[in-house]
Structure 1
Amino acid sequence: MIKDTSAQDAVIVPKRNKLKLVLVSAAVLITLAISAEAILTSDTAAKSVERASVQIATVERGDLTRDIAATGRIVAANAPQVYSPEEGLVTLLVRAGDKVSKGQAVARVESPQLQNQLQQERSELARLEGELSRKRLDARRQTLLLNKQLDLANVELTAAERESRRAKASIKTNIISQIDFEKAEDELARAKLNVNHAEQEVALAKDTLAFEVQSAHNTVARQQLVVDELERKVGNLTVTASVEGVVGNLFVTGRSLVTPNQPLMTLVDLTAYEAEINVAESFANELGLGMDVELQIGRQTVMGTLSAISPEVTEREVTTRVRFDQNSLSQIRQNQQVTARILLENRSDIVKVRRGSFLQAGGYVAYKLEGQIASRIPIETGATSMREVEIMAGVQPGDQIIISSYQSFEQAESILLR
């Protein structure tokens, strides 16, 4: 006897449940595969990372140029400042940004005190020149009088000599007495003495007069120097440009009172440029004059020479100047930004690798790649450049190492790259 139809019933599984069962089975299989791989590699890899998340480079042999990366700007090699020559009111004849030529007037200082002093000294010079002329006239007059006295003494000497000859002839014939003869001889001796003294007085007087004239001439010459100096100062009240270029910064305003040697403005010589490069303090001891520098100015690359190194450190940087040939450059501008490579030294035939963040670990460890396993190995680094680093020990040319950061590796001895 059949009680019911339960023996004939069959359970029908929905299609959605079948799909869910397939997906669950696939996930289990994938999990088992990963677990099996982890079990197989657990003896060789302590950590697993994505291969795409690291950078790998091949060690090679070649030449390395050790350099320093730096930034800077284009500056004028010659940018002199203009100073006030004297105290007074300044009138600016140019504005900031104006083009100026060499010798062009850029400012004028009004100094009434200096102008008045110049007029006084010129008047004193005219007085001294008149005094010199008077001295010369007095010297000529005194010389004339002395020459007259000398001539009169010579006339008396001639007369005394004639009387002496007459007395000598007369004494032989007893025409005159002995007393008259001796008197004639005394007159001759007196005339000779007068001539001798007159000659000495004339010579001494001429020397005295010449000395007085020369002294007056020296006084005039000294006063002329004073006038020349004041004229120079007055001429400098018109300030001129020392270079050809443009007006930079103005340090004063028009019709302001300025003091001697006070800066008025800066002139920028646009015919000669240099690069001002800021180098990190840590490289200061390696810099030297004459080093080659590769400059990147816009899209142009030019070689230069290190021409100056600042003796002080400012904000942990050392300022240097690079001189370069700008004839081949176009559209170069003041304060234009540049990047530079200072070439320190060239090393030939060394083992090197591309530079990367792995140097942050100290440069004494690296992860060498063998298949999918990267093993931690000790290395020794040497010279570094902007793009490459020298490997002195630990790897050989052809080896591959990870050059990206090791921070996520947590100092694991081996890494699985999946």
Structure 2
Amino acid sequence: MIQDTSKQDITLSSTSTNLWKKALWPVAIIVIIFVGAWWSVGSESVSHSVAKDELRLSTIIRGDLTRDIAATGKIVAANAPVLYSTEAGIVTLVCKPGDQVKAGDVLAVITSPSLANLAKQQQSTLSAMKIEFERTKLTARSEQLTAQRSLDMAQVEMAAADRENRRAQLLIKDNLISKIDFEKSKDDLNKAKLQYKHAGQELELIKERLAFEVKNKSLEVERQALVVADLERQLQELQIKAPVDGIIGNWLVEQKARIAASQPVLTVVDLSAFEAELSVPESYADEIGLGMDVELNIGGNKIMGSLSAISPEVRNREVTTRVRFNQNSSLKLRQNQRLSARVLLENKQNVLMVKRGAFLSSSGGRYTYQLHDELAKRIPIQLGAQSMSHIEVLSGAKEGDVWVVSDLSSFKESQQVRVR
């Protein structure tokens, strides 16, 4: 009878097992050292990790960069004249703000009793001067006729004296008259000739004098007529009329108010000509200039314009500019309609550039992180011109590199960060 299997067991030697154990110990030690070294290096260079979904990445590209300035503004009327009173008086406003008007429409009427009374007085003076002018012409004709009659009588007397002188010459030959009578006839003839000559000269002088007096009266009438015409013009200007087609802007006085001369009364907005008024940051004031191109975005529609005016003063750290449209826009624009714009400063061609992002402010534009697979490495950079969407890269990158352009505060200025 077999009680157990102990008789069949064979005792093995432990020499081979010990050899394997001795061989594995050095390998294990090497592995432990390698892992420890790797962990030490990894933990020293990669301090922490960030989620890729939290980052904004951009690839370095090469292209044309337009350096510009972002600005906001509004649509304003290029022509919005202010209408003034021409005389002191009481104003009656005919049209209300917002009313459509045509050029020449009466917008307000000023009542000036003093001007109306003065116009009537000057008109009466003109009428009196016209009557006096006609009387002067009649007097001139009368005096001229009298002078002509004197000339004619002198001519008749000269002819009679000449006849008597010829008769005396015949009689003296026959000694029928004395020599004294003959000399007297000659004296009478000379006297008659002098009277005729003087009468003719006096007639010419009277004509010149009367012509001068008539001309003087005529000029006085013309001067007074100009005075009356100017007063009539002033009376007509008491009706304030629209200079352009448009709408009434604002009342600058109250209805039936007593106003002074040259006081603003109301404004008219010309709806046929608009400009854009932009507010540019003060820091760019020295870089903008007249004639620069401007891209305007009005309700999703883009149109081009150019800077036409730049304010010489700064208000609220902004400079006000005016932009004139390059072409007549078919858009239906409204006064004070909001818009955005880009003032195009310069255009750089074939440059490396990257999208703008919060990394500019968080790093001061001195460094960023470049992504290699799952590792973001900090690199020094140098940036150049900026546009609204991109910024020029001067050094620190090549085309195709991927940068982190979002806020870098989560990287804690580490040299390397793992991106998971």
1:328 to 327, 330, 354: 330
The corresponding residue for 1:389 is: 391
Give the match's secondary structure for 1:286. coil
Deviation of the 1:352 alpha carbon? 0.9
Look up the equivalent residue of 2:398 and give its one-letter code: Q
Deviations, residues 209-247 of structure 1 (Å, cap 9, x unaligned)? 222222211111111111111100111111111111111
Matched, 1:340 2:336: no
Aligned to 2:163: 162
Q: Secondary structure at the match of 1:293?
A: strand
- Spell out, residue by residue over 1:257-287, the C-alpha distance to the aligned partner (whole angstroms, 9 max, x if none): 1111211111112222222111111112222
SS of 1:61's equivalent in the other structure is: strand
Selected match of 2:401 from 399, 402, 410: 399
Contact 1:102 1:242 in 2 (8 A): yes
Partner of 2:129: 128
Aligned-residue RMSD, C-alpha: 2.0
In structure 1, the residue matched to 2:247 is 246
Is 1:72 the counterpart of 2:77 in the alignment? Answer: no
Do the aligned partners of 1:76 and 1:270 also contact (CA within 8 Å) in 2? yes
Query: Kindly tell me: are residues 46 and 157 of structure 1, through their superposed partners in 2, closer, same or farther at Cα, counting changes over 3 Å?
Result: farther
Equivalent residue, structure 1, for 2:259 = 258
The aligned residue for residue 19 of structure 1 is none
Q: Distance in 2 between matches of 1:191 and 1:400?
A: 129
For residues 239 and 150 of structure 2, the distance between their equivalents in structure 1, rounded to whole angstroms, comes to 60
**TM-score, length basis structure 1:** 0.86
SS at match of 1:82: strand
Q: Aligned partners of 1:290 and 1:105: how far apart in 2? A: 38
Count of aligned residue pairs for this structure pair: 383
Change (3 A) 1:404 1:195: same
The one-letter code of the counterpart of 2:108 is A
Instruction: Report the Cα distance in structure 1 between the residues aligned to 2:226 and 2:155, rounded to whole angstroms.
Output: 47
Q: C-alpha separation between the residues in 1 aligned to 2:201 and 2:112?
A: 56
Is 1:204 paired with 2:205? yes
Residue matched to 1:371: 373
| Residue pair 1:103, 1:242 contacting (<8 A) in 2 also | yes
CA distance in 1, matches of 2:210, 2:264: 52
Counterpart residue identity of residue 89, structure 1: I
State the SS of the aligned residue for 1:340: strand
> Where does the alignment leave 5 or more consecutive residues of structure 1 unmatched?
1-34
2:16 matched residue in structure 1: none
Contact 2:50 2:410 survives alignment (8 Å): no
Identity across the alignment (%): 48
Report if the CA contact (8 A) 2:368-2:381 is conserved.
Answer: yes
CA–CA distance in structure 2, aligned partners of residues 395 and 284 of structure 1: 32
Structure possessing the higher radius of gyration over alpha carbons: 2
* 1:342-392 deviation digits (Å, cap 9, x = unpaired): 222211111111111222233233333333333333322221100011112
Unaligned 5+ runs, structure 2: 1-35
The separation in 2 between residues aligned to 1:265 and 1:108, in whole angstroms, is 12
Instruction: Give 1:160 deviation, angstroms.
Output: 1.7
Alignment of 1:43-62 (within 5 A): 43-46=44-47, 48-62=49-63
1:118 and 2:111 matched: no
What's the counterpart of residue 153 of structure 2? 152
Counterpart in the other structure of 1:358 = 359
| Separation (CA, whole Å) in 2 of partners of 1:36 and 1:242 | 89
Alignment partner of 1:42: what SS? helix
SS of the residue aligned with 2:181? helix
Describe the superposition over 1:162-183 as per-residue Cα deviations: whole angstroms up to 9, x where unpaired: 2222222332333322212211
Say if 1:172 and 1:51 are closer, same or farther in 2 by CA, change over 3 A.
same
SS at match of 2:285: helix
Letter in 2 for 1:123: S
Residues 273 and 326 in structure 1, CA contact (< 8 A), matched pair in contact too: no
Q: TM-score, normalised by structure 2?
A: 0.86
- Cα distance per residue 1:61-110 (max 9 Å; x no partner): 11111111111111222211222221111111111111111111111111
User: C-alpha separation between the residues in 2 aligned to 1:392 and 1:145?
Assistant: 108
Structure 1 181/38 Cα, relative in aligned 2: closer, same or farther at 3 Å? farther
> What is the CA–CA distance in structure 1 between the aligned matches of 2:133 and 2:321, rounded to whole Å?
61
Give the secondary-structure state (helix, strand or coil) at the position aligned to 1:95: coil
Corresponding residue for 1:380? 382
Q: How does 1:208-227 map to 2 (within 5 A)?
A: 208-227=209-228
Separation in 2, partners of 1:37, 1:197: 143
